[in-house]
Structure 1
Amino acid sequence: MLKIRMSQPSEAPEIIQIWRNSVDATHDFLTANDRQEIEKEVVGFFSQTPVWVATNEEDQPIGFMFLHEGHLEALFVDASARGLGVGKQLISHALALHPDLSVDVNEQNQQAVGFYQHMGFEVSGRSDLDGQGRAYPLLHLKKAQAV
């Protein structure tokens, strides 16, 4: 049974490893240089920032998300836990906190685009560059509201 809770400072190395495993499994469009630069940013940020973690029966993180003011800034699931509903549970938790949740996703990451669309998100815009000005187009998605 999965549990969702806030991370502990001591879990930063595990969270960063989840990011690495997830990116290695899903972000084959990144250049090697960009991958290294992004990892430096991620290590600096997630070493200091608490995030929501999904944990397994042993209370070990197997996925995480970072929410900021109703926007899902990051959601990563360890490659070994993909397909087990971890991402869905994290999204459900985020939606309970922010029903009008938004997220940006790399356009080249078609697995993620499909996942968010399956979860009821709709494209609300597009940017040619990512948040750091790199040439990785972003799709801006917003949770579709029930009518």
Structure 2
Amino acid sequence: MIRKFRQEDEDAIIRVWLEASSVGHHFIPLAYWENLVKDVRDIYLPQNETYVYTDDTTGNIAGFLTLSEDYIAGIFVAPDYHGQGIGQALMAHAKKLRTKLELKVYLENTQAFSFYLRQGFKISREQTDEDTGHKEYVMVYQEALSV
């Protein structure tokens, strides 16, 4: 089930974010992500629109999506839940909310990059992330107009 973020979800979301970041961004030291926890808690979550995907059986948060206007600031799935369609469900939810979406993905995160291509995203440009020094793609999704 996908629902809006509630304050009591905060610790679970941060845990999912750290776990998923360490797997998907294995090329960036874990300490980098750990140093961002305070910013995620104090800035990222309060200032953005976040939706959580909960496991129907356990009630655990299995993943989440964060939007800042038309920008996907984050879509993360807990590693134990990979391959179960949760990322796809979160992306479908984002597409219901917005007709245009933009995101950034590290070139080295080939699994996420492939996922975004399958979801209809196109590369807009390539750039270097100032914080990590790693190359990333800016990708855009635009809903097709009905004729």
Q: How many residues align?
A: 143
Structure 1 residue 35, shift from structure 2 partner: 3.2
Report the Cα distance in structure 1 between the residues aligned to 2:44 and 2:9, rounded to whole angstroms. 10
Residue 73 of structure 1 corresponds to 73
Instruction: Give the alignment of 1:1-147 within 5 angstroms.
Output: 3-45=1-43, 48=46, 51-57=50-56, 58-130=58-130, 133-146=131-144
Report the Cα distance in structure 2 between the residues aligned to 1:46 and 1:80, rounded to whole angstroms. 24
What TM-score comes out, normalization by structure 2 length?
0.86
Structure 1 residue 40, shift from structure 2 partner: 4.0
> Which runs of 5 or more structure 2 residues have no equivalent in the other structure?
none
Structure 1 residue 93, shift from structure 2 partner: 0.4
> Which runs of 5 or more structure 1 residues have no equivalent in the other structure?
none
Report the Cα distance in structure 1 between the residues aligned to 2:88 and 2:128, rounded to whole angstroms. 27
Report the Cα distance in structure 1 between the residues aligned to 2:140 and 2:45, rounded to whole angstroms. 28
Query: In 2, are the aligned partners of 1:13 and 1:47 still within 8 Å (CA)?
Result: no
Report the Cα distance in structure 2 between the residues aligned to 1:41 and 1:114, rounded to whole angstroms. 28
Identity %: 24
Report the RMSD for the aligned CA atoms in angstroms. 2.0
Deviations 1:35-67 (A, max 9, x none): 333344334335645610011113321100101
Deviations 1:103-147 (A, max 9, x none): 1111211111011011111101111124xx330222110115537
SS of structure 1 residue aligned to 2:96: helix
Amino acid at match of 2:138: H
SS of structure 2 residue aligned to 1:101: strand
Amino acid at match of 1:53: V
Structure 1 residues 76-85 or 55-64, which shifts more? 55-64
